[in-house]
Amino acid sequence: MIQFENVQKTYGKQVVLKDLNFTIEDGQFVVLIGKSGCGKTTTLKAINQLIPTDSGKILIDGEDVSKKNKAELRRHIGYVIQQIGLFPNMTVAQNIAVVPKLLKYDKAECDRIVRDMLKMVDMEEYAEKYPSEMSGGQQQRIGVLRALAASPPIVLMDEPFGALDPMTRDGLQNELKDLQKKLDKTIVFVTHDMNEALKMADVIIFMDKGEIVQMDSPEGFLENPANDLVKEFLGEHLYGAQTLTKVEDYMRKKVSTVHPSNGIHECAEMMARNSVDSLLVVDDDNKYIGTVEIGDFMHWGKGLKNIEPLIRQNERTVRMGEEAKESFDYLLETKANYVVVLDDQDHLMGIITKSSVAQNVATNLWGGENA
3-state secondary structure the chain: CEEEEEEEEEECCEEEEEEEEEEECCCCEEEEECCCCCCHHHHHHHHCCCCCCCEEEEEECCEEHHHCCHHHHHHCEEEEECCCCCCCCCCHHHHHCHHHHHCCCCHHHHHHHHHHHHHHCCCHHHCCCCHHHCCHHHHHHHHHHHHHCCCCCEEEEECCCCCCCHHHHHHHHHHHHHHHHHHCCEEEEEECCHHHHHHHCCEEEEEECCEEEEEECHHHHHHCCCCHHHHHHHHHHHHCCCCCCEHHHHCECCCCEECCCCCHHHHHHHHHHHCCCEEEEECCCCEEEEEEEHHHHHHHCCCCCCCHHHCECCCCEEECCCEHHHHHHHHHHCCCCEEEEECCCCEEEEEEEHHHHHHHHHHHHHHHHCC
Q: Let me know if residue 369 belongs to a domain.
A: no
Domain-ending residue, one of 170, 205, 238? 238
pLDDT at 362: 59
Count of structural domains, the chain: 2
- Burial string for 167-195 (b: 16+ CB within 10 Å, else e) reads bbbbbbbebbeebbeeeebbbbbbbbbbb
Are residues 100 and 215 located together in one domain of the fold? yes
Residues 344 and 199 in one domain: no
From the list 313, 247, 249, 302, the residue with the least C-alpha distance to 280 is 313
Same domain, 41 and 165: yes
- Sequence-ordered list of residues with C-beta below 8 angstroms from that of 6, at least 6 positions apart, any chain: 19, 20, 21, 55, 56, 57
Do 278 and 318 fall into the same domain?
yes
**Averaged pLDDT of the chain:** 86
For residue 94, give the amino acid letter: Q
Same domain, 23 and 62: yes
Please identify, among 216, 238, 260, the residue that sits at the C-terminal boundary of a domain: 238
Indicate whether 197 and 305 sit together in one domain. no
Tell me whether residue 370 is in a domain.
Answer: no
CATH of the domain at 132: 3.40.50.300
Rounded to a whole number of angstroms, the distance between the first and last alpha carbons of the chain is: 40
Cβ atoms of residues 280 and 256 within 8 Å: yes
Q: What is the pLDDT of residue 224?
A: 84
**Does residue 348 form part of some domain?**
yes
pLDDT at position 183 is: 85
Check whether residue 196 and residue 59 sit in a common domain: yes
Do 222 and 105 share a structural domain? yes
The verdict on 208 and 269 lying in the same domain is no
Cα 368 from chain centre: 29
Give the end of a domain, one of 214, 238, 262. 238
Same domain for 114 and 154? yes
Q: Are 52 and 108 part of one and the same domain?
A: yes
Residue 361 has a pLDDT of: 62
CATH code, domain carrying 328: 3.10.580.10
Residue 286 placed within a domain: yes
Q: Are residues 284 and 309 in the same domain?
A: yes
pLDDT at 359: 63
Residue 256 phi, psi (nearest 5): -80, 125
pLDDT digit of tens for each residue in the chain (371 aa)? 999 999 999 998 899 999 999 999 999 999 999 988 899 999 999 999 999 999 999 999 999 999 999 988 998 898 888 776 788 899 999 999 988 888 889 999 999 999 988 988 888 899 999 988 888 888 888 888 888 888 889 999 998 887 777 777 788 888 888 888 888 899 999 998 888 898 899 999 999 999 999 999 988 888 888 888 888 778 754 444 345 678 888 888 888 899 999 998 889 888 888 788 889 999 989 999 999 988 888 888 788 889 999 999 888 999 998 888 888 888 888 878 889 999 999 999 999 887 777 766 655 555 444 33
User: Has residue 81 been placed in a domain?
Assistant: yes
Rounded Cα distance, 207 and 38, in Å:
6
Q: Which domain holds residue 301?
A: 247-361
